[in-house]
Amino acid sequence: MSQEGTTVYVFRNAVGGFFELPVEQARAILPRHLQPAELHHGCGILSVMAFDFSESMVGAYQEVILGILVSPRVEPGMAMPHSAFYPFLLATTTRESREHAIERWHLPHYMRDVQMSMEPEAGDGRMRVRVSDEGRPIVEMAITSHGWRDAAQLHQSFMFDEAGGFLAEITMQGALSESEEEDGHLKLFPHPMTEPIGDLEEVSELPLREMWMRGGVQTFQPLRELTRTVQP
């Protein structure tokens, strides 16, 4: 879906958590000129996001994104982003969505369809996400809700491939629950998708921040090519 130069994706649910890991592991994933965000000294932040898209240019699909939070790119006249991240690997449930994201957004993907479930648990305000690869578990995550409000947030995504460096500005709009209650959890399993992280035991199982947005839209502005191209 495109509107006036933007690309729009409609989702039922988008959930994510930020989890601390040693900053050395974060730096090993990042291109040399991107700096990891550190809420606490010596700790980088792993972002795990899951989407259940109901409408897009390539139909309905689900997606999981593994990324590292980084310092944002701020320029005169630009709004301050809510977060900035480097997505080092994505996986989707359909070939069409994967090819679309690689071609349009230069996003790195695990090149097989994965299986995903995103199931809210009645009564406890919790969304459970499970991602697997033909029965082999990759990610299990639970995100909790703590009150809802209408919100719109700006995020930045940095991408690098053989074509160069790119910046995507993304607005997420919908009903939002966001908290630092540390009620969710994360379990990562050995798999090619999680291999770049290194020692999985060093990743915190408790989120330092949880986000759940429902009944929303994700809007991409036209991709910007970075003037400084650095090899990852």
2-225: CATH class: mainly beta
pLDDT tens sequence across 188-220: 999 999 999 999 999 999 999 999 999 999 999
- The band of 121, judged by pLDDT with boundaries at 50, 70 and 90, is confident
- The band of 229, judged by pLDDT with boundaries at 50, 70 and 90, is very low
How many CB atoms are closer than 10 A to CB 148?
15
pLDDT tens sequence across 137-158: 999 999 999 999 999 999 999 9
Q: Who contacts 213 (Cβ-Cβ below 8 Å, separation ≥6)? A: 11, 13, 14, 15, 151, 172, 174, 175, 176, 177
Please tell me the pTM assigned to this model: 0.93
Question: What is the rounded distance in angstroms from the CA atom of residue 13 to the CA atom of residue 219?
Answer: 15
pLDDT tens sequence across 163-172: 899 999 999 9
Question: What is the rounded distance in angstroms from the CA atom of residue 121 to the CA atom of residue 117?
Answer: 12
- The band of 181, judged by pLDDT with boundaries at 50, 70 and 90, is confident
Confidence (pLDDT) at 77: 75
Question: What is the rounded distance in angstroms from the CA atom of residue 38 to the CA atom of residue 20?
Answer: 9
Question: What is the rounded distance in angstroms from the CA atom of residue 54 to the CA atom of residue 12?
Answer: 6
pLDDT tens sequence across 28-51: 999 988 999 988 899 999 999 999
* Statement: residue 3 has pLDDT above 70: no
Half-sphere exposure of 41 (CA within 13 A, CB side): 0
What DSSP assignment string belongs to 76-144?
A: TTPPPPSEEEEEEEEEES-HHHHHHHHHHH---B-SS--EEEEEEETTTTEEEEEEEETTEEEEEEEEE
Question: What is the rounded distance in angstroms from the CA atom of residue 224 to the CA atom of residue 231?
Answer: 17
Instruction: Decide: helix, strand or coil at residue 222.
Output: coil
Helix, strand, coil % over all residues of the chain, rounded to 5: 10, 55, 35
- Amino acid identity of residue 109, one-letter, is H
Find the length of the chain. Answer: 232
The more confidently predicted of residues 123 and 50 is 50
Confidence (pLDDT) at 102: 96
pLDDT tens sequence across 66-120: 999 999 988 777 778 999 999 999 999 999 999 999 999 999 999 999 999 999 8
Confidence (pLDDT) at 232: 46
- Amino acid identity of residue 60, one-letter, is A
Which residues, listed in sequence order, are joined to residue 182 by a DSSP beta bridge?
none
* Statement: residue 231 has pLDDT above 70: no
